[in-house]
Structure 1
Amino acid sequence: MPLAACLALAAAGAWASESRDPLQSPQWPLVRKEALQQAPFVFDSRVKVTGPAFAEDPMRVPIAFDASALGEVDRVVVMVDRNPIRKVLEFEPLKVRPSLSLRFKLEQASPVRVAARTPDGVWHVGGVMVDASGGGCTVPGATRRDGSWSTTLNRVESRVFPGLGGAGARVRLRVMHPMDTGLVAGIPAFHVESLNLLDATRQAMLRLTLYEPVAENPIFSFDLRGAIERGMTVTGRDNNGNRFAAQVTP
């Protein structure tokens, strides 16, 4: 392990354990290999993850995380140990706080993990256990069942709220999309692949890479470090090449 990574592990010692999984999941070694590969990691309670004890709707499970206590974070990965498609999203908080709330599909009771990477290359892993009745990834969504998805496809809605403690601003985005997993007979995978928030000069403020388990008509809430600015836009595309763009208005 590189020296910088060893030092980071030592510094996190009061909060973290390098290898003992607090959620005791036998799937964790495979999840780690898929999502983090061979990079160093620690289980770290400074990565705050909140979710329901039981998912009332396994197709729209709310989850939120905040890795601000780590300081600078360059990438975040959200994954679900027991989903047939484990990776939910990747998040680059370029000019926003490393925190996000979203909804995702849950196939069965599972640990939900959030791994945040600091600039020294160490992944800091938090998580929560969410129970469920199951089936979130393998049944069609509401707009797919009633056929309404085609009339609203890639429509973007945004709202702006006061930020934490009155500082900055909180932005909520909703993208209308069926987010098909490809695990329902006769319905191929069809989902948003990327979503970017750009400032008035077209510089990226955040980047999201989305995977099939993100919920239908996904909603994301995140916190800007400063006030909302005129000219901010949201852009993105799905895996069929459809693109969308919309302005975020104060």
Structure 2
Amino acid sequence: MMRRRQGMVLLVLAWLRLANTSAFADTGTGAVMAHSDPMQSPQWAWIHKELLQQGPVVFDSRVRVTGPAFAEDPMRVPIAFDASALGEVERIVVAVDRNPIRPVLAFEPLRVRPSLSFRFKLEQASPVRVAARTRDGTWHVGSAWVDAGGGGCTVPGATRRDGSWSRTLNRVEARVFPGLGEGGARVRLRVMHPMDTGLVAGIPAFHIETLVLADASRQPLLRLALHEPVAENPIFSFDLREAVVPGMTVSGHDNNGNHIAARVSP
């Protein structure tokens, strides 16, 4: 009898351990419901609470995140993501676990594909998170590990060092290319800005806060909310779902109240 009780206790303990740490996979979609982070990062709890408001989360391979295995230039680390396989996506949040400033950007793909490529600053080797929220309120999280030598957030950018930033501040450059599907287009957008993190002695935080791409009738196509870790003179590439029409505009502002306004020509 004693041996049977011990066996039952061990079985219950094993079940509880499994319930608390294991993942439950949906083999049809690649989504994984999990109570523990597959990247095993202590900072995940903060990201889930502060950036995702403790919403329901699945770790989902359909959110594809592409980045270098090692960041040769920690001040300009290329990253790309694509959450198109999820269907309708309302909001996408990008964060870096081990950066001193973890949030990187938030992206609302109103009338564009839920995919984006850009560059960011990386202070040290870290998981990079891309969380896409679908209409049911669930955050689908993709991750990539990027190694780095360090220092991306705590050294001044090139235009800050040579003083050229003031001559080009908030200048917008845009190009339009043929898109992936019929009638669509790819847009490459560059905004000149030092994107100072505030972590360099004597240089306060100075960064773009918002960017909005709108059509000729001022209806937004996408919204971006940017944080300090976005790279200097940021470049964004994204795909329109519809044909380009004359009159698209880019508008926004930085945290010092400087305005951004430009037309995007095909």
Counterpart residue type for residue 33 of structure 2:
E
Q: Which amino acid aligns with 2:30?
A: W
Distance 2:194 2:173 in 1: 15
Q: Secondary structure at the match of 2:189?
A: strand
Q: Does 1:51 align with 2:76?
A: no
Structure 2 distance, partners of 1:38, 1:32, is 5
Shift of 1:197: 0.2
- Name the counterpart of 1:241: 257
- Which AA in structure 1 matches 2:77? V
Q: Which amino acid aligns with 1:180?
A: D
**Among candidates 8, 12, 16, match of residue 31 of structure 2:** 16
For residue 89 of structure 2, give the secondary structure of its aligned residue in structure 1: coil
Per the alignment, residue 114 of structure 1 pairs with 130
Correspondence for 2:141 among 99, 103, 125? 125
Residue 173 (str. 1) matches residue 222 (str. 2): no
Aligned residue pairs, count = 242
Of 27, 40, 43, which aligns to 2:43? 27
**1:202 alignment partner in structure 2:** 218
Q: Give 3-state SS (helix, strand or coil) of 2:190's partner.
A: strand
CA deviation string 1:48-82 (max 9, x = no partner) = 10000000000000000000000000000000000
**Which 5+ residue runs of structure 1 have no aligned equivalent?**
1-8
Deviation at 1:44, TM superposition (A): 0.3
Name the SS of the counterpart of 1:18 in structure 2: strand
TM-score w.r.t. length of structure 1: 0.94
Task: Find the aligned partners of 1:141 and 1:215 in 2 and give their Cα distance.
Answer: 9
Residue 110 of structure 2 aligns to which amino acid in structure 1?
Answer: L
Counterpart selection for 1:189 from 202, 205, 230: 205
Runs of 4+ deviating beyond 4 Å: 9-14
SS of 2:160's equivalent in the other structure is helix
- Which of 92, 99, 109 aligns to 1:76? It is 92
* Contiguous gaps of at least 5 residues in structure 2: 1-23
Paired position in structure 2 for 1:39? 55
CA–CA distance in structure 2, aligned partners of residues 160 and 96 of structure 1 = 14
- In the superposition, the TM-score normalised over structure 2's length comes to 0.88
Whole-angstrom distance in 1 between the partners of 2:100 and 2:50: 13
Tell me the distance in 1 between the aligned counterparts of 2:25 and 2:98.
31
In 1: Cα distance, 2:135 partner to 2:234 partner: 29
1:14 deviates by 4.2
CA distance in 1, matches of 2:182, 2:110: 21
Quick check: 2:26–2:32 contact (8 Å CA) kept in 1? no
Counterpart-to-counterpart distance in 2, 1:114 and 1:135 = 22
CA deviation string 1:15-63 (max 9, x = no partner): 1222242222122112211211221110000001000000000000000
SS of alignment partner, residue 164 of structure 1:
coil
- The residue number in structure 1 matching 2:244 is 228
Letter in 1 for 2:239: D
Q: Distance in 2 between matches of 1:37 and 1:203?
A: 28
- State yes or no: 1:144 paired with 2:160: yes
Counterpart of 2:227 (choices 199, 211, 215) is 211
Give CA-to-partner distance per residue, 1:135-174, whole Å, 9 cap, x none. 0000000000000000000000001111115541000000
User: Identity over aligned residues, as a percent?
Assistant: 78
2:170 is matched with which residue? Answer: 154
